[in-house]
Amino acid sequence: MKAVLSWVAAACCLAGPLFATTINDKVTSFELGNGMQVVVIEDHRAPVLQHMVWYKAGSADEPKGASGVAHFLEHLLFKATDKMEAGEFSATVAANGGRDNAFTSYDYTAYFQSVAADRLELMMQMESDRMVNIRLTPENIATERDVIIEERNSRVENNPRALFSEQMNAVQYFNHRYGVPIIGWRHEMETLDLDDALDFYKTYYAPNNAILVVSGDVVPEQVRELAEQYYGAIPANPDLPERVRTQEPPQTAARRVAFKDARVAQPYVSRSYLAPERDSGDQEKAAALTILAEILGGGQTSYLTERLQFDSNVAVYSGAFYSGTSLDDTTFDIIVVPSEGVELEAAESALDQALADFLRDGVDPEQLGRIKMQLRAAQIYARDNVDAIANRYGRALTSGLTVEDEQAWPDLLQTVTEDQIMTAAREVLRPETSVTGWLMRKDDEVTQ
Amino acid sequence: MIRGVFALVALLLAFPAWAEVKVESLTTPAGIDVWLVEDHSIPFTALEIRFRGGTSLDAPGKRGAVHLMTALLEEGAGELDARAHARALESLAASFGYSASADDISISARFLTENREEALALLRETIHAPRFDEDAIERVRAQVIASLMSDAKDPDAIARLSFNRLAYGDHPYGSDGEGTPESVSALTRDDLLNAHAGAFARDRLYVAAVGDVTAEDLARIVDDLLADLPETGRPIPGPAEVSLSGGTTVVPFATPQSVAVFGQKGIDRHDPDFFAAYVLNQVLGGGSFESRLMDEVREKRGLTYGVYSYLAPRDLAAVYLGSVASANDRIAEAIEVIREEWSKAATEGVTLKEVEAAKTYLTGAYPLRFDGNGQIARILAGMQMEGLPTDYIATRNDQVQAVTIEDVNRVAAELLDPEGLRFVVVGEPVGLEATVTD
């Protein structure tokens, strides 16, 4: 194995760009006359494509008291329009051998179809139709509201980890809508009505608030021509509100959450810190935090794994997570699942000690080299799945970033220095902005 | 939107211009059969290796041994302990995924062309010389037990395992391949070595590669990796008898939404009626919004977020399965609707329009599966395990197209067994009588 190891040492210290072509070469973007943004990502290996429309409207844009309406509306967009019957959209995609669905998050709602490349026009025809023409009935509202409540049952109510995470999030944000679950609080979901849905639709569903992302076997000129014809014909909404949300005040008090549930089998400690997100033209700090999450808890050789799972037997699992693609302040998250016989308090102490030691010791340059090597390779592997790249652009562009920001991101990650990482770590890993949660068994369940 | 227009479009799609997935079948100098799709557009390769048998090979009293052994393959091999191995792998930016199912162990590897030889040297050690260090065994054992304890309080897992116990009894399919906390606690290092010796052998090996590699290089790579495995491994158990009767089993569990798994006897992958059954299932509950179950249970009544059914032809038994989840006070109605649809399809069959729509969807959606090197490699290895020829990809849609409404309705009458359809419900269902006690 000596040969392997010496090669490894060489790879670690190689800083320059290894790979000549990048995915950036395959990305084209432009804007329609009505303000709709378009991104095309080419991959001509197979005659298929993915057609997506992203709206800059998510759960964090909902009015107070109507939590869940962004997601509810997403469901309702599969009902009737002026030109189509309820269910006809998906049935038509299926009849053309395609798949379709949609998803909602804090900052966006997105609709997509995967189909044969020669079906692009039909997809645009239908998607542009439901951008402005939905026709909802009271029956649609009643039935689909039951469906989203069952969805909440499946995703949240039946899962103590999801309930715990919901409470943690609500405590993390004093004043920002990120503290409200995307799917909605149950008691508000139960009151959602036709007006709630239509108000949200009329406010946010418009070409000047939407981004078209087409990936696969297409050329930009063809997309432009069809997009002008179908989406370009829809007038912009002149009353589109500016996307301003209530922001967090300074967070100055560490918070704690203890959540008990009889269905908990494996207790754990969860920690979240308020953290800055990627801002257009100013992504350096987020890049440093992205690498910090890898260093602390990104895999088998990460700092917390070494400390809590290898050097000591405190944990069966640990991890750190950060995604900077967000319109407003996001979170940096850490989880520690204690080993059998280790109390949550001891697990939390071990975590805090490890974090303190990391802040003292700094970054291991060899580990940083390995992480950067993997990020470089990730760009090669990414070319095997352009739909995932399309998703990345959709998320970025609905989170206040530009195509240039997204294109600059991989190189930016490569330039992150040890100093930047430690500066970001000291700034973010502060108790005052944190929530520490314990997911616990019900007391009466502890007995063997 | 006029439906007629789409019908015409759909007809054209029946003769698609899909880029061919060119599968090459080769035999290495050492005699290993390998399937390859050569594609040099991205400088990496996906390699999929399968060993038939999987967790069903566990020796009596050693439940979970194959699973734990597989989980330990990445925890140190050759001269490298777990940490050194992980560092080496990260430095190469390669990834090796190891997993054990009831039918096989799969190794899904992905590596860059520029450091292929180094990556393969690491992979080779994990297959031939895993260390099974005591500290690694204890660490991973604790992870497996933690996961089993979580499953014991997860309604989906409880439903799945309860159903399997009812369906397969004492056959390995009838219990959790990951073992129980007790059985996993009792496993020794020798048990893991035995599991390793029994699982990896030439007589059960399947290999597929997709990406930046030539046939010549691949033959050498595969021989280097696998040629000196033992000829034979532990015998694979015989078929499982599916012992399902109709009725409803309730597993009481305090949670707001009841989770139900349902199923009956299925149909073998090699049965001449398999494609007719496949089309039938697409109409009945095949996962799209257009299925009868989705329409009746979700779209019309709002009783669930999702209801699905699927054919599950595995190596040692075939079942026809489904799942649904509804609030405790609504699950009884959801189950009643599903039972009605099952009976209706069995007695009245389905319509020509439904069959045509299902066929169009299935044939159109098939090429969408070939989405990336790793995904294609997994499909190719799966095809080999099912005994399909390399040209199956080109002929599969013709087989779907050849299914007639008469085939579908004959199979519906023969296959669908409303009396034998068993529901296992986990939760606190209201107004639902358990007709069968476990």
- Of the candidates B257, B300, B326, the beta carbon closest to that of A157 is on B257
Tell me, what's the pLDDT at A8?
A: 32
- The answer to whether the Cβ–Cβ distance between B254 and A381 falls below 8 Å is no
Question: What's the 3-state SS for chain A?
Answer: CHHHHHHHHHHHCCCCCCCCCCHHHHEEEEECCCCCEEEEEECCCCCEEEEEEEECCCHHHCCCCCCCHHHHHHHHCCCCECCCCCCHHHHHHHHCCCEEEEEECCCCEEEEEEEEHHHHHHHHHHHHHHHHCECCCHHHHHHHHHHHHHHHHHHHHCCHHHHHHHHHHHHHCCCCHHHCCCCCCHHHHCCCCHHHHHHHHHHHCCHHHEEEEEEECCCHHHHHHHHHHHCCCCCCCCCCCCCCCCCCCCCCCCEEEEEEECCCCCCEEEEEEEECCCECCECHHHHHHHHHHHHHHCCCCCHHHHHHHHHCCCEEEEEEEECCCCCCCEEEEEEEEECCCCCHHHHHHHHHHHHHHHHHHCCCHHHHHHHHHHHHHHHHHHCCCHHHHHHHHHHHHCCCCCHHHHHHHHHHHHHCCHHHHHHHHHHHCCHHHEEEEEEEECHHHCCC
Tell me, what's the pLDDT at B264?
A: 98
Residues of A in contact with B114 (CB under 8 A): 18
Q: Could you tell me the pLDDT band of residue B14, with boundaries at 50, 70 and 90? A: very low
φ/ψ of A268, rounded to 5, equals: -155, 170
Judge whether residue A13 has pLDDT over 60.
Answer: no
Which residues 327-366 of B are in CB contact (within 8 Å) with A?
A: 327, 330, 357, 360-361, 363-366
**A107-166, pLDDT tens digit by residue?**
999 999 999 999 999 999 999 999 999 999 999 999 999 999 999 999 999 999 999 999
Judge whether residue B429 has pLDDT over 50.
Answer: yes
B4 versus B170: the higher-pLDDT residue is B170
Residue B111 pairs in a beta bridge with B45
Mean model confidence pLDDT for chain B: 94
Which residues 81-110 of A are in CB contact (within 8 Å) with B?
A: 83-84, 86-88, 90-92, 94-99
Q: Could you tell me the pLDDT band of residue A295, with boundaries at 50, 70 and 90? A: very high
Domains of chain B: 24-226 (3.30.830.10), 247-427 (3.30.830.10)
Average pLDDT over residues A346-355: 98
- Of the candidates B9, B42, B121, the beta carbon closest to that of A384 is on B42
**Whole-angstrom distance, CA of residue B18 vs CA of residue B13:** 10
Judge whether residue A443 has pLDDT over 90.
Answer: no
Contacts of B332 (CB under 8 A, 6+ apart): B429, B430, B431, B432
Q: Interior CA angle at B201 toward B198 and B205, to 5°?
A: 125
Average pLDDT over residues B132-160: 97
Judge whether residue A2 has pLDDT over 80.
Answer: no
Average pLDDT over residues A255-261: 97
Contact assessment for residue B93 and residue A376, using Cβ atoms and an 8 Å cutoff = yes
Q: Could you tell me the pLDDT band of residue B438, with boundaries at 50, 70 and 90? A: low
- Of the candidates A145, A337, A381, the beta carbon closest to that of B44 is on A381
Q: Beta strand pairing status for B205-211 and A268-275?
A: unpaired
Give me the amino acid identity at B362.
L
Query: CB count, 10 Å around CB of A206?
Result: 24
Tell me, what's the pLDDT at B17?
A: 40
ipTM value of the model?
A: 0.92
Tell me, what's the pLDDT at B279?
A: 98
Residues of B in contact with A126 (CB under 8 A): 1
- Of the candidates B1, B254, B326, the beta carbon closest to that of A83 is on B1
B248 in A contact zone (CB under 8 Å): no
**A265-287, pLDDT tens digit by residue?**
999 999 999 999 999 999 999 99
Q: Could you tell me the pLDDT band of residue B401, with boundaries at 50, 70 and 90? A: very high
Contact assessment for residue A126 and residue A92, using Cβ atoms and an 8 Å cutoff = yes
Mean model confidence pLDDT for chain A: 93
Contact assessment for residue A289 and residue A324, using Cβ atoms and an 8 Å cutoff = yes
- The answer to whether the Cβ–Cβ distance between B372 and A385 falls below 8 Å is yes
**Whole-angstrom distance, CA of residue B355 vs CA of residue B291:** 11
Tell me, what's the pLDDT at A16?
A: 37
Provide the annotated active-site residues of A: 74
Closest residue in B to A9 (Cα–Cα): B91
A47 versus A207: the higher-pLDDT residue is A207
Q: Is the pTM of this model over 0.90?
A: yes
Percent of chain A with pLDDT over 90: 91
Query: CB count, 10 Å around CB of B387?
Result: 9
Tell me, what's the pLDDT at A19?
A: 45
**Whole-angstrom distance, CA of residue A214 vs CA of residue A227:** 10
Which residues 230-249 of A are in CB contact (within 8 Å) with B?
A: none
Average pLDDT over residues B311-339: 98
**A410-423, pLDDT tens digit by residue?**
999 999 999 999 99
Residues of A in contact with B368 (CB under 8 A): 48, 97-99, 114
**Whole-angstrom distance, CA of residue A152 vs CA of residue A159:** 10
Tokens of B335: 């189950």
Which residues 378-437 of B are in CB contact (within 8 Å) with A?
A: none
Judge whether residue A25 has pLDDT over 80.
Answer: no
Domains of chain A: 23-230 (3.30.830.10), 255-445 (3.30.830.10)
Judge whether residue A293 has pLDDT over 80.
Answer: yes
Query: CB count, 10 Å around CB of B266?
Result: 22
Which of A150, A151, A310, A373 is the best substitution to test chain B (most B C-beta atoms within 10 A)? A150
Tell me, what's the pLDDT at B287?
A: 76
B436 versus A112: the higher-pLDDT residue is A112
Q: Could you tell me the pLDDT band of residue A12, with boundaries at 50, 70 and 90? A: very low
Judge whether residue B282 has pLDDT over 60.
Answer: yes
A447 versus A357: the higher-pLDDT residue is A357
- The answer to whether the Cβ–Cβ distance between B42 and A380 falls below 8 Å is yes
Average pLDDT over residues A328-341: 97
- Of the candidates A46, A337, A374, the beta carbon closest to that of B19 is on A46
- The answer to whether the Cβ–Cβ distance between B367 and A46 falls below 8 Å is yes
Residue B268 pairs in a beta bridge with none
H/E run at residue B280: helix B274-285
Contacts of B204 (CB under 8 A, 6+ apart): B51, B52, B53, B233, B236
Average pLDDT over residues B230-255: 96
B227 in A contact zone (CB under 8 Å): no
Judge whether residue B90 has pLDDT over 60.
Answer: yes
- The answer to whether the Cβ–Cβ distance between A266 and B146 falls below 8 Å is yes
**Whole-angstrom distance, CA of residue B124 vs CA of residue B224:** 8
